[in-house]
C-alpha cells in the first residue's frame, strides 16, 4: 500500500464522495420503474459527488487547479499541478442500476500524470498508484497480465456515444480484434477498464473520444503495474489525443498493429 501524504489526500476525498453515491445508487432501482425515470436524480448525484471531491481536494491542496467533468476548469495559483476529476465514470451503468461505475481522480504535475485513484463503490475496490511507488488494489500489488498470445487475450473496448466519434471505424476495429483474440468486452467505464488491465483481469483495452478525467488516473495505474499505455493510434500522449490503448508490451504492440490495419 502507498502511505504518502498525497495518496492520503486523494483516498480520503474519493471515499467521502463515495458515501453519497452508494446511498444514491440504492435508490436507482425504485427510480427505474417510475414514470419520470432516474435521469435527473443521477445528474444530481453526479454533481454532489463532484462538489465533495472539489471541496476536499481544494482544502488539502488549495493552490492546485482542477479539470472536472461537471464544473469545468478551475485555474490554480500553482500552475504545475492539476487534478483531473470524474465523480461518476460509468454513468449509464449507474443510471440503469448496474453496479459497475467508479470515481476517478488523477494528478498531473508539469504535464505528467503522477498519481491516480479509482474507487469502485459497489465492489469496495480501491485502485491506487503513484509514480515510482507501484499500483495496488486495496492491499495487493498489481501487475498487468503476462499473456503473450493474442489468441488467449481478453480485450476490452469502449464505444462512442451517440453523435460523437466514428461508429464505423470502431466496428472495423472490433471486427479485426474479434477475429484473432480470445474474447472482447464492453463494460461501460473507462476508468475501470484501465484498472482491470492494471490488475490483469483483462489483457488489453482501447477507446477513442475520451476526456482527460476519464483516463488520467488509469494511465498511471497501468504504467505502475508494468503495462504500456499510448493513444489508440500508438502515440505517446493519450491525454492530448483523447484516446487510449494499453496492455503488456507484447500484446499492446500487436493491438496497435491491428487498429492501424483496420483504419487503413
Q: Above 80 in pLDDT, residue 232?
A: yes
Domain CATH code at residue 177: 3.40.190.80
Same domain, 48 and 165: no
Please report the DSSP string for 88-100 in residue order.
EE-HHHHHTT-S-
Same domain, 85 and 196: no
Give pLDDT tens digits for 83-133.
999 999 998 898 888 999 999 999 999 999 999 999 999 999 999 999 999
Hey, is 54 helix, strand or coil? Answer: helix
Grid cell 468486452 is found at 185
User: How far does the chain reach from its first CA to its final CA, in angstroms?
Assistant: 44
Contact call for residues 125 and 28 (beta carbons, < 8 A): no
Total of domains in the chain: 2
Residue 15: CB partners within 8 Å, gap ≥ 6? 119
Q: Which of 80, 110, 141 is where one domain is finished?
A: 141
Q: Above 50 in pLDDT, residue 188?
A: yes
Q: How confident is the model at residue 27 (pLDDT cuts 50, 70, 90)?
A: confident
Query: What distances in angstroms separate CA 13 from CA 52, 93, 142, 189, one per listed residue?
Result: 7, 22, 22, 20
Q: Which of 94, 110, 141 is where one domain is finished?
A: 141
> What pLDDT is stored for residue 218 in this prediction?
98
Instruction: For residue 209, count CB atoms less than 10 angstroms from its CB and return exposed for 0-12, middle for 13-18, buried for 19 or more.
Output: middle
Same domain, 92 and 184: no
Give pLDDT tens digits for 127-178.
999 999 999 999 899 999 999 999 999 999 999 877 677 888 999 999 999 9
Q: Residue 242's domain spans which residues? A: 150-263
What global pTM score does this model have? 0.94
Task: Name the binding residues.
Answer: 69, 86, 88-89, 214
Q: What is the sign of the dihedral through the CA atoms of 149, 150, 156 and 157?
A: positive
Contact call for residues 194 and 221 (beta carbons, < 8 A): yes
Q: Above 50 in pLDDT, residue 220?
A: yes
Q: Give the Cβ contact number of residue 28 at 10 Å.
A: 18
Task: Name the binding residues for Mg(2+).
Answer: 69, 86, 88-89, 214
Same domain, 189 and 246: yes
Q: Which of 99, 114, 141 is where one domain is finished?
A: 141
Same domain, 65 and 180: no
Residues paired with 206 in a beta bridge: 157, 245
> What pLDDT is stored for residue 65 in this prediction?
97
Instruction: For residue 3, count CB atoms less than 10 angstroms from its CB and return exposed for 0-12, middle for 13-18, buried for 19 or more.
Output: exposed
Distance CA 86, CA 104 (A): 5
Amino acid at each position: 500500500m502507498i502511505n504518502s501524504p498525497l495518496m492520503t489526500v486523494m483516498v480520503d476525498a474519493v471515499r467521502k464522495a463515495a458515501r453519497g453515491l452508494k446511498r444514491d445508487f440504492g435508490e436507482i432501482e425504485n427510480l427505474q420503474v417510475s414514470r419520470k425515470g432516474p435521469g435527473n436524480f443521477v445528474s444530481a448525484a453526479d454533481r454532489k459527488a463532484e462538489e465533495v471531491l472539489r471541496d476536499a481536494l481544494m482544502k488539502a491542496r488549495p493552490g492546485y487547479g482542477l479539470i472536472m467533468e461537471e464544473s469545468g476548469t478551475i485555474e490554480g495559483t500553482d500552475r504545475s499541478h492539476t487534478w483531473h476529476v470524474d465523480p461518476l465514470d460509468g454513468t449509464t451503468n449507474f443510471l440503469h442500476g448496474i453496479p459497475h461505475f467508479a470515481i476517478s481522480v488523477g494528478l498531473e504535475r508539469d504535464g505528467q500524470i503522477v498519481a491516480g485513484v479509482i474507487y469502485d463503490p459497489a465492489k469496495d475496490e480501491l485502485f491506487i498508484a503513484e509514480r515510482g511507488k507501484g499500483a495496488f488494489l486495496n492491499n495487493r500489488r498489481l501487475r498487468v497480465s503476462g499473456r503473450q498470445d493474442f489468441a488467449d487475450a481478453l480485450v476490452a473496448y469502449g464505444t462512442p456515444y451517440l453523435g460523437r466519434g466514428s461508429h464505423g471505424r470502431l466496428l472495423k476495429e472490433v471486427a479485426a480484434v474479434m477475429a484473432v483474440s480470445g474474447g472482447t468486452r464492453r463494460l461501460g467505464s473507462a476508468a475501470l477498464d484501465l484498472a482491470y488491465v492494471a490488475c490483469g483481469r483483462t489483457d488489453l483495452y482501447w477507446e477513442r473520444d475520451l476526456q482527460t478525467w476519464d483516463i488520467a488516473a488509469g494511465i498511471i495505474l497501468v504504467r505502475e503495474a508494468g503495462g504500456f499505455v499510448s493513444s489508440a493510434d500508438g502515440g505517446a500522449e493519450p491525454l492530448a489525443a483523447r484516446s487510449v490503448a494499453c496492455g503488456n508490451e507484447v500484446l499492446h504492440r500487436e493491438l496497435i498493429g491491428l487498429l492501424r490495419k483496420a483504419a487503413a
